[in-house]
């Protein structure tokens, strides 16, 4: 995922210390699993 990240997203990623979290979530797991994860969070 090479899209430009928003300022807030950049801050969160920096605070987590996980620079590749977006790529891991979008490229390494099926979309249905990502959806399930997001539903659990919210």
Residue 33 maps to a domain: yes
Residue 4, phi then psi, degrees to nearest 5: -65, 130
Structure confidence at residue 1 (pLDDT): 44
Residue 25 maps to a domain: yes
Contact indicator for 3, 23 with CB cutoff of 8 Å? no
Residue 1 maps to a domain: no
How many independent structural domains does the chain possess?
A: 1
- Domain range for 12 is 7-41
Average pLDDT per block of 10 residues along the chain, 42 residues long:
74 91 91 94 90
pTM of the complete model = 0.60
Residue 2 maps to a domain: no
């Amino acid at each position: 995922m090479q899209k430009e990240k928003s300022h807030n997203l950049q801050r969160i990623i920096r605070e987590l210390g996980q620079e590749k979290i977006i790529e891991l979530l979008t490229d390494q797991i099926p979309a249905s699993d990502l959806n399930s994860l997001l539903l659990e969070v919210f």
